[in-house]
Amino acid sequence: MGIISGKQFINRIDDLHNEVWIHGKKVDGKISNHTAFKGMLHSKAKLFDMQTDPRHQPLLTFALPGTSEKANFSFKQPATKADLTDRRLATQLWAKTNAGLLGRSPDYINSAIMSLAAAAPLLGKNNKKFGKNIRQIYERAAAEDLTFTHTFINPQTNRSISFFESDDMIIAAKVVDENSDGIVVKGARLLATQGGLTDELLVLPAGGNFIDESYIYGFIIPSNTPGLKFMCRESFVSGDSEFDYPFSTKYEEIDSVVVFDDVLVPWERVFLYKDLNIAFEMTQEVDMFTLLSFQSVTRQVVKTEFILGLTQLIIDAINISEFQHVKDKASEIIVGLEIMKSLLLTSENQCQHNTFGMMTPEKNALNAAIIYYPKLYPRLVEVIHLLGASGLITLPTEKDFLSDNTRPYIDQYLQGAGSDSLERVKIFRLAWDLTMSSFGSRQTLYERFFFGDPVKLAMSLYNGYDKTPYVEMVKELLD
């Protein structure tokens, strides 16, 4: 089959009839027509259309081995540095269509599926069928151009170290039974972005309670598997007007709690089960999170480029470039952008083959980037607030511009230094939706915790970073 178009993507998601709940109601009919989901789904559809465009196919696709069919670039297992470079350029091309605001574009979890498949020898070390399963899942995903969401996190019911759940009230999803057909999973997981809006769901160990092996599992199942429910948060789509809500109408990625209501996971869908050693080795050798970081940092670079451009438009719109403090604040964005670009390119230039022969970006540079950006992004938002000031609040709506009663006043009093009122308000509405709306607030929280607890990420970097050469350098000077 190979790559699909945007229309094929939309039709396939509609035809799944996934069990999705939002605002207390189950979604009926075509989910692509629902106000909360249609904007994001059609934005993703444009990405699929790009890969069918002959102008972009050389970068966005590759030939499936042994066939003439084309697959999406993110399913290609990089073997050379050039493969990583192409991967970065393709991700950038996609990200620029949405200013880096689609954190879960298809290439994100596709990278995880690809990395897991490359590590099939490890996953199948103690049980060959598990290695075979992940390989077959990957090959089918690439051949059919499937999309995935994922869930790695347990609910935040009680996060104290000493807390253990009882079997009387299961909260975190666990295996409650197994039979000849597969394993049965009951409980809940967080935080599936685009939950119910993809073909399939990737589930990996959530960490924490590994004393009980019923929590040690990894599998991939269709999103319409019986008993699988996606409970969505409140939608941040506040209206249909793209003028009033330029980002949320198109890029609102709904987040959901995944409920496993005695879900039967067939054995052919399982690639990890009750094997703590393999679960631990996965974190050390698979390099899944390394490839996920590579995709994420690439997207974050594009997002920061957009923020710099938007900031400059705000500066020009109200003619504040002559003030030193303005240039000082804008330079913070420039410095942040250059640091992120440098870390990304360092990871690419210092790539190495991993245990399974996959060309992998250098980890330390990427780890530094994913620790740095959660601290940088809130400052980028603050800079926009400080420069935009009251202009981010005094924003007329599309209907105000259409009214003969209000339009003359808007044109006179809300014009820019070198632009008319319409152009100026459009710029400031972009900044408002990016940083102040419910959608924008979610973007800030999203980047703060994109890869989890920032303190734990910093501890992991410290613990894994080889500091010996630098200690020896100091000792030599002391001697």
* Residue 388 C-alpha from the chain's centroid: 28
* Residue 194, SS3 per DSSP: coil
As beta bridge partners, residue 22 has 25
| Start-end of H helices in 27-119 | 38-52, 57-60, 81-95, 107-118
Q: Is the dihedral of CA 26, 31, 35, 40 positive or negative?
A: positive
Closest to 316 (Cα-Cα) out of 227, 388, 394, 404: 388
The answer to whether the annotation marks 349 as part of a ligand binding site is: no
The answer to whether the annotation marks 133 as part of a ligand binding site is: no
Contact present, 327 and 386 (Cβ < 8 Å): no
Return all residues near 339 (Cβ < 8 A) that are at least 6 apart: 372, 376
The answer to whether the annotation marks 85 as part of a ligand binding site is: no
Residue 438 region by backbone torsions, left for phi larger than 0, else alpha for psi between -120 and 50, else beta: alpha
| Start-end of H helices in 286-415 | 288-317, 324-349, 363-388, 398-402, 407-413
Closest to 294 (Cα-Cα) out of 88, 141, 150, 452: 88
List C-alpha distances in Å: 114 to 227, 338, 364, 403, 426. Answer: 27, 29, 21, 53, 40
The answer to whether the annotation marks 367 as part of a ligand binding site is: no
The answer to whether the annotation marks 55 as part of a ligand binding site is: no
Return all residues near 145 (Cβ < 8 A) that are at least 6 apart: 1, 2, 3, 4, 9, 48, 71, 72
Contact present, 154 and 13 (Cβ < 8 Å): no
| Start-end of H helices in 227-323 | 248-251, 276-285, 288-317
Binding-site entries: 156-159, 193
Binding-site entries for FAD: 156-159, 193
